[in-house]
Chain A
Amino acid sequence: MNKIDDKPLLRVEKLKKYFTKRLSVIQKRSRIVRAVEDVSFSIYPKCTFGIVGESGCGKTTLLRCIFQVVKLTSGNIFFEGENLAELSRNELRDKRKNMQMVFQNPFISLNPRMSVLNIVSEPLRTHTEINFEEIRQRVLILLDQVGLEKDHLYRYPHEFSGGQLQRIAIARALSLKPKFLALDEPTSALDVSVQAQIITLLRDIQEELDLTYLFISHNLTMVHHISDFISVMYLGKIVESGLADEVFHQPQHPYTQVLLSSTPSLSAQYRKDRIITKGSVPDASNPPSGCAYHPRCQHAMDICGKIDPELLIIGDHHQAACHLVNS
C-alpha cells in the first residue's frame, strides 16, 4: 500500500482525556474516568481509518478530542502538521473548515426547523462570504453529489427517510470542501439496503474528492469493508491496530478475536465456534487492574491482572497490546 508513504494528515500522539465524576452531591468525593488513555495513531491522506469498539470504549470521546470540542488532558493532535491544541480560537475555526463530521443519527443531528437549503448552506454562511445565489448554486451541486434532487431544496427534515437525511448530513459536511471527514457510526441507524447505499456513496465521494475518512463503528464487518486501517478500542485504549485485512483475518488480541466471533456473519466460513465472553464492559471509573480486558479474557494469565501490557509492534503496521503476544 503506497498511500502510507505520504505524510500523515492527522496524527494523534499519546492522547489522554480524563473526566472527573462526582460520586456524591454533598461530599466532594470524586473519581477519575479515563475515557481515552494513551491513544496514538496516524491517518494518511486518502485512506480510511476505522475504529471499532463497544459502547463506552471512548470512540466518541476520542472524536470530540480530535475536533477540540473538549479540552485534552494531555497529548497532541497534529492536523496537516499543526498542533491543534496550540491554535487560537480563530485559527481553529479556520482549521475546522478542513475537518468535518457526520453524526450517527440524522434524525437528531439535523434541525427540524431548518429547510435543506438552510441546513446544507449553514457552514457556507458561517465560514465564507459568498452571496445567496452562489450559495444556492453550491447547495444544488452538493445535493446532486449525494444523490438528492433539486426539488428537495425547500423541504424540511421530517419529509425525508433516514437514508435521505444521512445524505443531507453528508452534503452539509462536504459543503466547505474538507480534506478530512469523521464519520461517527454513520450507518447504524439505517436499514441494510439503505446502509449499502450510504457506504457506496461515501466510497464514491472519497474517490471523487480525495477525502480522508475516520470511520467509527461498533460493527467490525462494516469497518473491515470500508477501511484501510483498523484500530480496536477497549475501555479507552487501543488494544490492536493494523491493516484492515490483517486485523480481520489474523486477530492477535483476544478481544479482537471475541469481537470477530460475536459479530454475526452470513458466510458459513466465518461461523466457527463462537467464543462467548463473560460479563460486560467494566465501569470506566473503576477499571480492573492490569490489562482492562483480563476479567473477561479466555486466555487470562496471572500477569494479566498485575501489569498492563503495552502496545507492541508485531508485524508491518500491526500492533497489539497483550501478554500472550509478548511471550
Chain B
Amino acid sequence: MKLQPLLSVKELHLHFNTYAGKAYVLNGVNLEIMNNDFMGLVGETGCGKSLTSFSILKLIPPGGEIISGEIFFKGDNILIKSEKEMRRIRGQQISMVSQDPSAYLNPLFTIEQQITMVIKQHQDLEKNAITQKAHDLLQIVELPNPGGILKSYPHELSGGMKQRVAIALALSCKPDLLIADEPTTDLDVTIQAQILDLLQKLRKREQLTILMVTHDLAVVAETCKSVTVLYAGKDVETGSVDKVLYESKHPYTKALLEASPNPKTRGQKLSMIPGKLPSTSERQFGCPFSSRCPKAMPICNRVIPTMKQLDEDHKVACFLYEDERVR
C-alpha cells in the first residue's frame, strides 16, 4: 500500500486582483510531503515559493484568491475549513519560521513573555508549567543559558540566536509540519551552517516534517532529502535530492545548476539563462519555461506539460521525456 503523504497540494491556482488586471501567480502547483521528510522548495524571486507556503496555512495576502486546487493535510482539505478550524491548525499542527526573525519578535517584550504568550494561546497549562516549557524549548533549540535568554529582549540577541528563538516559538505546540521560509538568508555562512544543522537534528529528534523554502540550491543539496523546483508558479521537477540535483532532467533545473558558481568552473564563464521570467499578468498557455528553453519544441508553446513519473522518486514536467505520440 502506498503511504499517505502528510501534506499534498494539488493543482493550486492563485490569482491576484490588481488595478492592472489579474496577476497569475500560482499556476498549478503540486507538492507532496511525506511524514518526517525534509523538503526543499526552490525557485527564483517571484516564482511563488512563499505564496505556496502561505497558502498551506491559508494565509493569503489581501487581493489574492485561490481559484482552484486542493490542499490536503493529514487527509483533510484545508481550503474548505473555516477560519475557526484553521486557528487550531496553525501553530499546533503547521507552524512557520520566516526569513527575518527580528521582524516578528516584538521588541517591547522579553523572549519569555513572547514564548509564554504563544503557549497560553494554544495550551491549557499552569503558570509554572508554562515557564518550564519555555525553558525546555530553548534547550531543544540548543541555546546556551536558556534562563538568561528568557529574560532578555530581542535586541540583545544576535541574528542566529533570534532565529533559534523563532524556531523555538514555532515548535512550542509540537507541530507536525514546520514551514521554514528562507530561514538562513539573512545569516552569515557559519551561522547558517549552525541553523541548518539544528533543523536536521530537530527533524530526527522531534519527528518533525520540514518544508524549507529557499532560493539556494546548495543549501538544499546539503540539508534536504527531497526537493521541488518551482518556476513561474508551477512545479517543474520534484523528487529526491540525489535525483533532482545530480541527475536533473528539466532544462530549467539544469540551467539553474550550471549558473551557480562551483569550484570546478573557476575562471570559466558561468552559463546564463537567456531572457527573463514570464510576466505574471499574462496567462501561460504552454510550458512557462518554453521561451527561455534551449530545447523548446513547437508543442511547448501550446500545451502545459504534466508531471511524468520517471523513477520511483523523480517526477518531471517536460515534453522531452514524453513519448513520441504525445509530442
Contact B263 A267 (CB under 8 A): yes
Q: How far is the CB of B184 from chain A (nearest CB, A)?
A: 9
Contact A193 B193 (CB under 8 A): no
Contact with A along B185-216 (1 / 0, CB 8 A): 00011111110110000000000000000011
Q: How far is the CB of B200 from chain A (nearest CB, A)?
A: 10
* Contact pick for B260, options A218, A245, A258, A266, CB 8 Å: A266
Known A-B contacts A193-B259, A225-B265; the reply to A264 vs B270 at CB < 8 A is: no
* Contact pick for A193, options B190, B221, B256, B263, CB 8 Å: B256
* Contact pick for B222, options A195, A199, A244, A271, CB 8 Å: A271
Nearest CB to that of B161 among chain A residues? Answer: A280
Known A-B contacts A191-B45, A191-B215; the reply to A221 vs B158 at CB < 8 A is: no
Contact B222 A193 (CB under 8 A): no
Contacts of B270 in A (CB 8 A): 196, 199-200, 225
Contact with B along A254-297 (1 / 0, CB 8 A): 00001101111111101100101100110000000000000000
Interface size class of B (residues with CB under 8 A): 35 or more
Contact A264 B271 (CB under 8 A): no
Contact B272 A197 (CB under 8 A): yes
Count residues of A near B (Cβ-Cβ below 8 Å): 42
Contacts of B256 in A (CB 8 A): 192-193
Known A-B contacts A161-B276, A193-B44, A280-B158; the reply to A54 vs B262 at CB < 8 A is: no
Contact A264 B221 (CB under 8 A): yes
* B266 contacts chain A at the CB level, 8 A cutoff: yes
Instruction: Output the residue of B190, B222, B246, B271 with the most chain A CB within 10 A.
Output: B190
What does DSSP make chain A's interface, helix, strand, loop or mixed? helix
Contacts of A167 in B (CB 8 A): none
Contact B272 A196 (CB under 8 A): yes
* B59 contacts chain A at the CB level, 8 A cutoff: no
Contact B215 A265 (CB under 8 A): no
Contact B260 A276 (CB under 8 A): no
> Would you give 11 A-B contacts (Cβ < 8 Å), ordered by A?
A192-B260, A193-B273, A196-B259, A224-B263, A263-B189, A266-B262, A270-B263, A274-B222, A277-B193, A280-B188, A280-B190
What residues make up the interface of A, taking CB atoms closer than 8 Å to B? 54-55, 161-162, 191-197, 199-200, 203, 218-222, 224-225, 244-245, 248-249, 258-259, 261-268, 270-271, 274, 276-277, 280-281
Please list the 9 inter-chain residue pairs (A to B) with the smallest Cβ-Cβ separation, ordered nearest first: A262-B193, A264-B218, A196-B259, A225-B261, A54-B188, A196-B270, A191-B44, A193-B273, A264-B222
- Contacts A266-B218, A267-B262 aside, 17 further interface pairs with beta carbons under 8 A come to A54-B188, A54-B189, A192-B256, A193-B255, A195-B259, A196-B259, A196-B260, A196-B261, A199-B261, A200-B272, A248-B263, A264-B192, A266-B217, A266-B245, A266-B260, A271-B222, A280-B159
